[in-house]
Amino acid sequence: MDITHYAFASYVFVLVCAGLWFYGRVSRSGRKNKGDKSAYEKEQRLFTLYQNVEDMLGSFEEFAEETKKETAQTLKKAALLLEEAKGLSAELKSLRQAAQQNNKTADAQPAAAAPLPETARPDQKPSAPAPDAAAVTEAPLKINEKIALLDAQGLGATDIAKTLGISVREVTLALDMIRK
């Protein structure tokens, strides 16, 4: 064998290697195009997901700000109501002290004769002697007890409401509860 055979064999070897290399390039580029499409789709989905997350975070931030404002307003209202309740509590304490002083002075004075009961009308239940409306409003009784006393005197719901300074609806509800 001479050199021409070796040269021909190396030429064929180089051709086979080049063919394999070319085939690999062509087949790999076809896979890259397909892979590029799926990678592009994945990238688009990821981008869409990222945008959705940003939108949700923005909405959450807006919701948090609105909630913060509403909470601040509610706290302000609660503080005002608390101050009002403190004022009413102080006023109630002073009224109780005044009522106790009135009771002490009333106990010290001789008891007056009880008023005679009025003649009962047929549509009205007989009323027991009860204190007058001014005494009922000053006495440290519960509102339901005051309503019951005034009802026993024969006053109507509107008269009771005017005397106690509450609504007629409150009086009718209390009377319904008392009668049950």
Contact 109, 135 (CB under 8 A): no
- Please report the pLDDT score of residue 24 as a whole number: 86
Alpha-carbon 100 to chain mean position: 41
pTM over 0.85: no
- Please report the pLDDT score of residue 122 as a whole number: 47
Please give the Cα distance from 112 to 13 (Å, whole number).
139
Please give the Cα distance from 10 to 75 (Å, whole number).
92
What is the crossing angle of helices 168-179 and 157-164, to 10°? Answer: 120
Q: What is the mean pLDDT of residues 2-7?
A: 85
- Please report the pLDDT score of residue 121 as a whole number: 47
- Please report the pLDDT score of residue 78 as a whole number: 93
pLDDT tens column, 11-27: 999 999 999 988 888 87
> What band does 114 get if pLDDT is binned at 50, 70 and 90?
very low
- pLDDT at position 126 over 60: no
pLDDT tens column, 27-68: 776 665 555 678 888 888 998 998 889 889 888 888 888 999
- pLDDT at position 124 over 80: no
Contact 89, 113 (CB under 8 A): no
Contact 137, 146 (CB under 8 A): yes
